[in-house]
């Protein structure tokens, strides 16, 4: 494929997230939004607004003149695997919104399917493209903190009663708790920054709502590198300490700027997203020595959805490997599943590096 010709991208699903992805494609100079796909009649208005054709199904799309190079799958979670497979069978590269799947075997099946067709499968963990995470990754890669020894993380806020009302009353059920909805993002970021998690233990927070869904947990982590971590998760406490409020990424959640990760290395420690780096500088490493505080600069960047589309274009052109592959997406699901099992059993759960 010529590196200069724009990449044609379709958006599958026009619910909450689909139009945001479509706008990101429209804002990318090296991409063309070829169409949207959604069986709902309401999607016609979205297509008209975006000035692109709408098709009722992937099969209709494949039979049309709008066949794209790649597609972004933004449909309900349980449809991610069958729709992605349909697109891959049509010779189309896929960026699938997270989670890759609602269970591990179907996620593995999708990964193998893409590989057998020699097509790219990317998972939409867009926070890898957040400017604070990009800057943190750069610092860790450059060994600015030395070898990473430990990490402490928080995702804590208060979801009001209306969050659990119809039509989203499913959020009261076992699949509606913050482990699968929110922690999955955090696990992917921790994997991205610190490598694979290989063991988890967890204790549940007290239930206040009385729903079937968990409300949170204190989680103990071990990474393949030997680093260890703690993570406190809760969607039922008033708190400014969460990714959305800390980074300002979600426009519906007021910004607090509070730190959410603290990463401890042999040479320095870093809090994110206030980006304060503490070290002894050139002085003696000792608890009695004065420490030096440096605020790491974070450059302005395009919004994560737009950076993700630009990355998809480069992957399709063959000049970049996927930042978040199907396997990466599945590993986040596997760790969340392990956290749930740790809550049920009360013991540690090992996560194999191979066979995932």
Q: Domain containing 264 — which CATH number? A: 3.30.360.10
- Among candidate residues 226, 230, 221, 227, the one with its CA nearest the CA of residue 153: 230
Q: How many CB atoms lie within 10 A of CB 296?
A: 16
pLDDT at 2: 47
What confidence score (pLDDT) does residue 251 get? 86
> What dihedral do alpha carbons 240, 188, 93, 108 form, nearest 10°?
-130
Which pLDDT score is estimated for 355? 58
| Token couple for 109 | 């099946």
Residues 26 and 72 in one domain: yes
Whether residue 346 sits in one domain with residue 199: yes
Domain co-membership, 175 together with 296 = yes
Over residues 268-287, the pLDDT tens digits come to 999 999 999 999 998 899 99
* Regions in the chain scoring below 50 on pLDDT: 1-2
Nearest to 331 by CA among 214, 176, 224: 224
Between CA 194 and CA 60 the distance in angstroms is: 43
- Residue 92 and residue 158 share a domain: no
175 with 143, same domain: the answer is: yes
Give dist(CA 243, CA 248) in Å, integer. Answer: 8
Boundaries of domain holding 105: 7-119
Interatomic CA distance for residues 91 and 94, integer angstroms: 10
Query: Do residues 28 and 177 both lie within one domain?
Result: no
> Each residue of 285-327: pLDDT tens digit?
999 999 999 999 999 999 999 999 999 999 999 999 999 999 9
Residue 16 has a pLDDT of 83
**Tally of structural domains, the chain:** 2
101 in a domain, yes or no?
yes
Question: 124 in a domain, yes or no?
Answer: no
């Amino acid at each position: 494929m010529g590196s200069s010709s724009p990449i044609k991208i379709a958006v599958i699903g026009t619910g909450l997230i689909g139009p945001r992805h479509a706008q990101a494609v429209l804002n990318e100079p090296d991409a063309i939004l070829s169409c949207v796909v959604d069986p709902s009649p309401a999607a016609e208005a979205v297509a008209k607004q975006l000035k692109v054709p709408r098709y009722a199904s992937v099969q209709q799309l494949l039979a049309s003149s709008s066949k794209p190079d790649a597609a972004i799958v933004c449909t309900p979670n349980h449809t991610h695997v069958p729709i992605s497979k349909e697109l891959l069978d049509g010779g189309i590269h896929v960026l699938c919104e997270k989670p890759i799947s609602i269970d591990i075997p179907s996620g593995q099946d999708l990964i193998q399917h893409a590989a057998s067709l020699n097509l790219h499968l990317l998972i939409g963990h867009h926070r890898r493209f957040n400017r604070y995470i990009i800057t943190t990754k750069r610092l860790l890669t450059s060994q600015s903190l030395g070898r990473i020894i430990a990490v402490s993380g928080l995702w804590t806020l208060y979801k009001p009663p209306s969050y659990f009302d119809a039509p989203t009353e499913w959020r009261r059920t076992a699949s509606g708790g913050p482990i699968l909805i929110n922690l999955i993002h955090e696990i992917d970021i921790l994997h991205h920054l610190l490598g694979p998690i290989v063991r988890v233990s967890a204790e549940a927070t007290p239930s206040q709502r009385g729903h079937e869904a968990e409300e949170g947990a204190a989680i103990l982590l071990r990474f393949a590198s030997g680093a260890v971590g703690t993570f406190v998760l809760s969607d039922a406490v008033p708190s400014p300490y969460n990714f959305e409020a800390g980074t300002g990424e979600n426009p519906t959640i007021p910004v607090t700027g509070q730190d959410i990760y603290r990463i401890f290395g042999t040479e320095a420690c870093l809090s994110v997203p206030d980006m304060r780096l503490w070290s002894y500088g050139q002085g003696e490493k000792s608890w009695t020595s004065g420490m030096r505080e440096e605020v790491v600069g974070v450059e302005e960047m395009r919004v994560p959805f737009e950076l993700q589309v630009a990355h998809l274009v480069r992957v399709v052109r063959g000049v970049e490997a996927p930042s978040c592959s199907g396997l990466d997406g599945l590993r986040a699901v596997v760790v969340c599943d392990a956290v749930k099992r740790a809550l049920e059993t009360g013991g540690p759960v090992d996560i194999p590096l191979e066979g995932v």
